[in-house]
Structure 1
Amino acid sequence: MNETNTTERLERFLNFYNNLSQNNLDSLAELYATNVEFIDPVHHMLGLEQLQQYFSHAYARLSSCHFVATSQIANQDQGCLSWVMTFTHDAIGNGKPISVHGCSIVHWNSEGKIAYHRDYYDLNEMVLQHIPLLGWVTNKIKQKMAKEA
């Protein structure tokens, strides 16, 4: 597979997520293998069915979600996409847009479907700092750690 095809895979991945919604979750099967392993800072799931349930729950109250790629690297078997996700959710940050930096590592199987997907992002940046008491506590902890470094 040439470099263009590997870049196209990551572009397809990004476009897929920018078009994903509660109304088209069945399209996950177009991108993911049935035995996909998905990991993020909160979840570890095995199988397409668990992944579909996860996204069904995640997108139920999500008002908007958009990803912008900041860098990428890929070969025929795997890719890494760094991104900034901006989302709005009525239960987080009073529904105001929140931007989170992260990256996705994906491995494709021989059929070109994603068999492994791991997301790395700062859970504090995504959720905790937007909850009044927890946000204050986590900011104090970060300030204390910065002074000790």
Structure 2
Amino acid sequence: MSNTTKIVNFYEKLKPADVSRLGEIYEEDAFFKDPFNELKSLSNIEKIFEEMFNELENPYFVFIDKISHNHQVFLTWDFVFTKNRRNFKIHGSSHLKLSESGKIMYHRDYWDVGEELLLKLPVIKSIYGALRNKLAVDS
């Protein structure tokens, strides 16, 4: 099984009890960055996933594209969850750099907070929409 397949399989089956097993796919001193966090160390990465399971209902990942070359992996995914009885789906991507042992040493997530999250909140949606219309190029 390739390292990419192992990582994707781990994430596709991720449950709260699996957070303590993140060391199977991450190096101890791994770097992680997303639109809200920038941190280093396996223990801090575990905290992010613990919080995810504490704050969200039934969160899971659906992987769409997988590209790997040498020790780098690029994944596109949908992150699906429920919060306050509302269903959400965030589309994003991850750039992973793997160590010689095949574990993640660098994990950077890319997704548009405005489009994927803020625009789903009514008040912010109207403000953001007005700003977006004002800045858009006429065609």
Q: TM-score, normalised by structure 2?
A: 0.88
Structure 2, unaligned runs of 5 or more? none
Work out whether residues 3 and 103 of structure 2, in 8 Å CA contact, stay in contact via their aligned partners in 1: no
Corresponding position of 1:116: 106
1:7-46 to 2 correspondences below 5 Å = 8-46=2-40
**Identical aligned residues as a percent:** 27
Structure 2 CA distance for partners of 1:15 and 1:139, relative to 1, 3 Å? farther
- Aligned residue identity for 1:104: S
User: What is the SS of the residue equivalent to 1:38?
Assistant: strand
- Aligned residue identity for 2:103: K
Q: Shift of residue 72 of structure 1?
A: 2.0
Q: Shift of residue 43 of structure 1?
A: 0.7
Corresponding position of 1:129: 119
The 4+ residue runs of structure 1 with deviation greater than 4 A are none
Aligned-partner Cα distance in 2 for 1:133–1:38: 31
Count matched residues. 139
- Aligned residue identity for 1:133: V
- Aligned residue identity for 1:134: I
Structure 1, unaligned runs of 5 or more? none
Taking only aligned residues, the RMSD between alpha carbons, in angstroms, comes to 1.8
1:1-149 to 2 correspondences below 5 Å = 8-90=2-84, 95-147=85-137
Aligned-partner Cα distance in 1 for 2:32–2:67: 19
